[in-house]
Structure 1
Amino acid sequence: MRTTALLNALLASLATVSSAYAAGGREDTSGLFVYIFLGFCALIIALQIMPAILMLFGIIKGVRKETPAEAKAHK
């Protein structure tokens, strides 16, 4: 009898929590194609960032590189 009362109390508390989560937030009516489109946009941005980062590293490497006249002066 005691475990039944405990089980009923647990189920009653879980039932109220689930309805509280269902009531909040905004309604999302976006379909699958919206998420596919957004993923495609993110893919384009990621593919554009990779060459930009590589070019930035190339510029930094070129700035740090010594010219032949400076190399002879250090010897």
Structure 2
Amino acid sequence: MKVLSATTASLVLNATQAMASPAATETGGLGLASLIFIAFIAMVALFQLMPGLAMFLRILKGIFSSEAEQRAKEVAKDNRTSL
């Protein structure tokens, strides 16, 4: 148990010193791989937004449409297929 505590303490002390070094504050900016990853996530979000929005609008249409319209559509459909 003492070995584990000593190891953890030494890692924490070394990590805080590394974070305090001036080299740790310099950033190199976004690389090509990160830009491609961000673009991929944006495309996934956009491609899921369109079907989700269409489904939401169909749900709203179903909630707010009257039953009389539904019956009229069913009667019209039955009349077209009865020939």
- Distance in 1 of aligned mates of 2:36 and 2:28: 15
In structure 2, the gaps of 5 or more residues are: 1-25, 73-83
> Match of 2:16?
none
In structure 1, the residue matched to 2:64 is: 64
Higher relative contact order (CA 8 A, sep 6+): 2
- Percent of residue pairs identical: 28
TM-score of the aligned structures, taking structure 2 as reference length: 0.46
The Cα RMSD (Å) is: 2.5
C-alpha distance in structure 2 between counterparts of 1:47 and 1:33, whole Å: 21
Task: Please identify runs of 4+ aligned residues in structure 1 that moved more than 6 A.
Answer: none
Distance 1:68 1:29 in 2: 61
**Distance in 1 between residues matched to 2:43 and 2:60, nearest whole Å:** 26
- How many pairs are equivalent? 46
Q: Which runs of 5+ in 1 are unaligned?
A: 1-25
